[in-house]
Chains A and B, each alone.
Chain A
Amino acid sequence: MSRLLIVLLWAAAAVMVLLIVSLPINLQTHLIAGAVVLTAMMTLKLVGAGGTWRLIALALGTAIVMRYVYWRTTSTLPPVSQLENFIPGLLLYLAEMYSVFMLALSLFIVAKPLPSRPSISVAEEDLPTVDVFIPTYNEEPSLLADTIAAAQAMDYPKDRFTVWLLDDGGTVQKRNADNVVAAQEAEERHAELQKLCADLGANYLTRERNEHAKAGNLNNGLAHSTGALIAVFDADHAPARSFLRETVGYFNEDPKLFLVQTPHFFLNPDPLERNLRTFEKMPSENEMFYGIIQRGLDKWNASFFCGSAAVLNRKALEETQGFSGISITEDCETAVELHSRGWNSVYVDKPLIAGLQPTTFASFIGQRSRWAQGMMQILRFRFPPLKRGLSLPQRLCYMSSTLFWLFPFPRTIFLFAPLFYLFFDLQIFTASGGEFLAYTLSYMVVNLMMQNYLYGNFRWPWISELYEYIQSVHLLPAVVSVMLNPRKPTFKVTAKDESVSTSRLSELSRPFFVIFAVLLVGVAVTAWRVYAEPWKADVTLVVGGWNLLNLILAGCALGVVSERREWTATRRVKVNRRCEFGQDGQWLPATIEDVSVNGARVRVYGKNVQPLIAQGHANLRFIPQSGGERAMLPIDIRNSEKDGEGVMIGCRYIRSAPEHHRLVADLIFANAEQWTQFQHTRRRNPGVLLGTVWFLRLSFFQTWRGLVYFMRGVRGSQVQEAPLPSGAKA
């Protein structure tokens, strides 16, 4: 009853706002209202008001956005009689309306995200049996060894869980391939991994044919196992010790639960973070998704499976005959299907795995293309908005998740729209300079403020636009192709273990330089037209300003596609753990300061350090967090320096036995807390103004860096080509 009442009251308030917003008031009234609303939003943000105040601020912002939509719809479209203006004008309008629609969906999803869930402790005897699946295709055995070791080290009764390595790189089909070399490699891989699994106590499983890619592989695992729950880890996603303890409890609470998803935490930067050097200080791209959007989805029981770092219910999967494989994003597709059958999902907002993400821009784009194409396939084949069985909020949530990937279209339109005016003198937006300023500026500022309100700690200003832009250039053709041929795309495994050894331009960088050049010409045309056609300088300036904004984005993107040489392959994690350093009964006290996947930094105390260092290799001895005996990890010493009372040593692990992988995994992956802490150091909100200033500076620098790389590339190719003629002569 009270619920109905509150729905009615809310509806009344919403209708009231709608009516007020759609009044055809004059420009002055809108301008003042915009200023008042902005002031109110700023005040609320400055005093840090949360809870209901946050929703009031969002309502205020929404009102201005709706006013913009009203104005844009009623008074700015070019007349149909001028088709050359009307068609691009309509496209721009649709692009803007798409953005507004996505904003509305986001508002719905993240209006009040669920707070982080408390841990659920389960009595030891109630713990369900779990099969841990690690699907692999072409990953290096040493990488797999770390993951398997970490999985095996999970804090869970040994008799209740089994780790399965699901190898699709050593299938019968692969081993019998026509290509002899490939077949040979598959055979070797098959044998090596079998041995590795045996050594680490995991089960190795492969299958006849590589059908249905990852989904097929997982289904094969399902068919060969019996555990009540399935945990899935990508080959490069190593779980923390607490992973199962933190997740399985929810299945006891809700028998209709099919999924507990946890965030993906990455130890290495993505190309943007690496090339822009923001990894250490700015929240990662996926933190917006895992830090807030998944929590928002969780509120509406719409948190979906992201392919890894999740626990699923076998009963639920049996209902759908395993994982769905129509699309190339089997994870989300499976979740849609199960949600529609009345199963529930839960999201645990705590990084419990650490993994790797694509290093190079090309593989980053490859991964995103798969996501975008897969989501388009889901939209095409499952069409969540009309899927029977989904609740209304779930439909909206899936709509947001899938429609999001249409962003290359509006992004492209926003990029080129100003050029229509600057180059071809088309009037695709009929408004005076003053109107444009009053409505568009208030809309843009309010939009930035709302984004900041919603995602401030997780996404800095203009970074979303930058990510969208760098992806759009290559995603647009990918999305168009999947629209034309929805069944064509196939699952391609994303390479994540590449490294960049020399500074160079990405192989996908060319379009970015072309676009930058075109926009730069746009700026020149702006200047010329302001000078040569003073009678329409106001419109030219406004459009030129828009183009300039695009240029700043495009300039920043030049930095993204200029790959920096990589200094450390993966991020170092601070651990601060007691150990002993030495060899053969000669042991010195030491602390492990930080660790990475490949090595560690150790501070050694005591007098007789130098002789040990001189040997070039030694051992670390420490008690694993999983308990048990003190264990020994052999290391190569790479460097050392005197540091106060001790000596700081940089070392590299020597993983010669399976046991060593277990120890490395214990050092890096055992403690999930350290990842949370690291994330929190990056989560701060610079605010719209400071964030914008920061972005501008970043962009100037990156533009310059991109151009330097470009010049170097041009010169480099000249140098390479130069010897050729002489060689021909000779």
Chain B
Amino acid sequence: MQDFAHSFVLAGNLILQADAALVEIVGLSLQVTATALVVSAAIGLPLGAILAIARFPGRMVLVVLSNALMGLPPVVVGLTVYMLLSNAGPLGVLGLLYTPTAMVIAQSILITPIIIALTRQVIADLHQDYSDTFRSMVVPGHTAVAALLWDARYSLMTVLLAGFGRAIAEVGAVMIVGGNINHVTRVMTTAIALETSKGELALALALGIVLLLIAFAVNGSVALLRGAERSLVRV
């Protein structure tokens, strides 16, 4: 299979030439997924922390639910969001179907359960160490949540990266709600699907390699940031 070698050459060329179409697609992919991640983090981190330390009836049901929803199939999310945003659906008046915003909504729904479930686990573990201190100092609940989230920030960074990875890699949801419209809603994964269906397998794989490199770059910069902050703290 010389296709593999050909794909690496193609990927290299695309990156070196900063191919305009590629830059646009990569830019939109990052923008959509970063936005979805911010939304999901804003909802998922506090909810996960609350689920970890609060005691209320039905809590276990919510824990199981968030764990189960980590396995949400992207096409099902896409279909549901499509039916909501469709002109025949309840939110059709917003005119959001086939826009990047629709893709943000779909990806947010997809990864919020992941952020909630993993945050809950991280915070619950940390809370075991902290609960005596909190109790003796009579720390109010919301302060405890904030303190736990802050102290767990390195582990939570990994939680966010898991959400990022899931969102940027999925194709089923954004294909349905975005429509893979050139220059408007075409992202890396839908472009890969399109090139595959054209039989341009080498180009499709080249785009896949670029997508992997982006994931490496994002994870690498987070690791660097983390390292930099840790060394600052040590000084």
A is bound by B: no
- Show the binding face of A for B, using Cβ within 8 Å: none
- Show the binding face of B for A, using Cβ within 8 Å: none
